[in-house]
Amino acid sequence: MANPTRTHASVGGASSPSSLAEKHDSSSLEKGAHDFSNSGQQSVVSTLEYTAEEERRVLRKVGNAKLLGLMKDIGMADQPEAYNTSLALYFLGYVLFEIPANIVLKKFSPRVWLPSLTIAWGVTATLQALIKDEAGFYAARFFMGVSEAGLFPGVIFVFSMYYKRKERTLRCSLFFGGAALAGSFGGILAWGLGHINGGGLKPWGWLFAIEGMFTVLVGISAYFWVPGFPRQAKFLSEREHAILIARLQADGDSGDEEPFSWQGVWDAFKDPFVNAYGWLFHCFAMTLYSLSLFLPTIIAQLGFANWRSQLMTVPVYFMALVGILFFVWFSHKINQRGTAIAVGGAIAIIGYIILLTTHTPGARYAGTFFAVIGIYASNALLLAWPSENVSPQTKRAVASGMQIFIGDVGAIAGVLIYRPSLASNFYRTPHGIAILYTGCGILLALGLSFAMHRANKSGNVRRAARREGKGEEAKGDRARGYLFQI
C-alpha cells in the first residue's frame, strides 16, 4: 500500500524571465503543474498535496521521457525500471569487450580499427529502428555497448602515441569534455528528430535511423583521415616525421617500433598501479553515468517543457567543460594529478549535499552545477592519468582498456542504484551512495599519488632490482629512474 503521508512541494529561486518562462495551459494546471509568472516574486509555493507513491510515479515518467514512445510501442511502458536495465546491459557489453578491443588496436592499426568500430556502432544504432519487442530492445542495447567499447580507450591510446607525456592530459580532457558538451545538445537534436513521422517508422525509429546512418557515413570517411601509429604517419613530410619521432623518443616510448607483446598484456594485469587507475574510475564512473538520470527531473521541476527543458541542460554541461579546462590548468600548475582529482571530488560532494539538503528546484539546479563540474573534471584527469604513466606501448594500450573495464562496473552500479524504486525523497538513498563512492575515489586518488611519489623518491630502484633478480629486463615504467606523474 502507498505511504499515506502527504508532502508539500515548493518551487524556489528567482522568477524566470519572460523569454524563458513557459506558460502552462489550463489542462496542465488542472494536473497540478506549477505556473511561473513574471510577477517579480522570488518564489512560488504550491499547496498541492500528493502521496509519496504519486511522487515516485512522476519521477519515473520524467526519468524515462527519452524512451517513453519506444517503451510504449514495444509493450514495456508498464516496466518503469526497464530503461535502467537497458543501460546496465549496454555497459555490460562495454565492459566485456573493452580490453580485447584495445588489444586488437595495438596488434593492427587505428586507421582501420577505429573507423570500423564507428561503422559498427552506426549500423547497430540504425537497426534499433526495427525493434519490435522487449528481447530486441535489450539485445540492441547490449550490442551498442559492444560496438562502442573500443572507441574511447582507443582514442586515448592514440593520443598517447603522438604527444609527450605532459601534453596528453589536455588533449584527452578536451576530447572527454567535448563529448560531454556535444551530449548536452544531443537531447535537442533528439527532440527535433522525434517529430518526424511516417515512412513506416515511429518518431523514435527515425531518431535511431538518422543518427545511425549519419554515424556510418562519418565512419566511412574516417578511413581517410584517422592516422595510424607515428611510424606510419603518412600525413607528415619526411622532415616533419623525423621531428615527431625524435621528440617522442626523447620523452618516452611512443616513437619506438614496439611489436605487440602478450607479456605487455600480463604486465598490465598484474600492475597494482594499473588496477588502481581502474578502481579510481570505478568510483567516479558511478556518479558520472548516473548524473543524467536525475538531471532531467530537476529541470522538469523548474516548470520548463520540451525544447526549453533541453536547453536548461546546456549551461550545466558547458560549465562542466569550463571546469575541465580549469582543472587541467590547475593540475599542471601544481604538477599533481591526484590532488586535483581529489579537489574535484570534494566539489562534487558539495553538490550532492546541496541536492540532499534543499527542497526547491532552483537550489537543486544550482547543486547540479557543483556535482557536474566536480565529477566531469575529476573524470577527465583520471582518464588521462594512465596515458602519462604506463609504459611500454602494449602495456599502456591494455591499461587504457582495463581502466574502462573496471570503471564501467561502477557505471552499471550507478544506473541500477538510480532506479525509479529508489526515487523517493528525490533520490536520497542513491545520492548518499554517490557521496560514499566519491569519497572513496578521493581517498584512492590521494593514496595512488602518494604511492607513486614514494616510487619516484626511490627512483624505482627496488622494483627494478626485483625484476632483474628474476632474470627479467627492467624497462618501461619499471626501469630505474622512471618518474611517475603524481
Please state whether the peptide bond connecting residue 392 to the residue before it is cis, i.e. omega within 30 degrees of 0: yes
Q: Residue 158 maps to which CATH number?
A: 1.20.1250.20
192 falls in which pLDDT band (50, 70, 90)? confident
DSSP code string of 239-268: HHHHHHHHHHHHHSSTTS-PPP-HHHHHHH
Average pLDDT, the chain: 82
Q: Which domain holds residue 166?
A: 73-478
Q: What is the pLDDT of residues 357-401, one digit of tens each?
A: 998 888 999 999 999 999 999 999 999 999 999 999 999 999 999
Residue 32 has pLDDT above 80, yes or no: no
Please say whether the beta carbons of 348 and 380 come within 8 A.
no
Is 58 inside any structural domain?
no
This prediction's pTM: 0.83
Q: Report yes or no on 31 lying in a domain.
A: no
What SS3 string covers 64-129? Answer: CHHHHHHHHHCCCCCCCCHHHHHHHHHHHHHHHHHHHHHHHHHHCCHHHHHHHHHHHHHHHHHHHH
Q: What is the pLDDT of residue 51?
A: 64
Residue 221 inside a domain? The answer is yes
Q: For residue 350, tell me if it sits in a domain.
A: yes
Residue 36 falls inside a structural domain? no
- Confidence at residue 41, expressed as pLDDT on a 0 to 100 scale: 38
Q: What confidence tens digit (pLDDT) does each residue in 175-189 have?
A: 999 877 776 677 677
Domain count, the chain: 1
Q: Is residue 30 part of a domain?
A: no
Q: Which pLDDT does position 462 carry in this prediction?
A: 65
Q: Would you state the pLDDT for residue 470?
A: 66
* Domain contains 4: no
pLDDT of 35 over the 70 cut: no
Q: Is 38 domain-assigned? A: no
Torsion of CA 125, 128, 129, 130, to 10 degrees: 140
The model's confidence at residue 76, banded by pLDDT at 50, 70 and 90, is confident
